């Protein structure tokens, strides 16, 4: 029997899906179907609120949108803090 439970599972190989939530809004189906190119949807978060970093439905941290600086300028998230716990 193993004395150290951390040896039971190699966590280096366990992957989890991380999602980023930038805000929400509600639209009727009619409003949704009327959307056209260049329209702007207002979300329920301020720009200064940043984004929520989630695993499943659990918010684990907060971040802010940034670019990676490479020629492709891929969208990235800079971690700005841990999630607030209730």
First to last CA, the chain: 39
**Which residues are paired to 39 by β-bridges?**
none
Most confident of 23-32, 39-48, 68-77: 23-32
pLDDT score at 73: 86
* pTM, to two decimals: 0.71
Strands (E) in 1-86, as ranges, are: 18-21, 51-55, 58-67, 75-82
């Amino acid at each position: 029997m193993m004395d150290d439970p951390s040896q039971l599972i190699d966590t280096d190989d366990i992957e989890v899906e991380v999602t980023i939530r930038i805000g929400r809004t509600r639209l009727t189906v009619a409003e949704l179907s009327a959307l056209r190119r260049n329209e702007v949807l207002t979300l329920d978060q301020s720009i200064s609120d940043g984004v929520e970093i989630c695993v499943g439905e659990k918010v684990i941290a907060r971040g802010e949108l940034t670019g990676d600086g490479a020629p492709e300028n891929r969208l990235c998230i800079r971690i700005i803090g841990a999630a607030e716990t209730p």
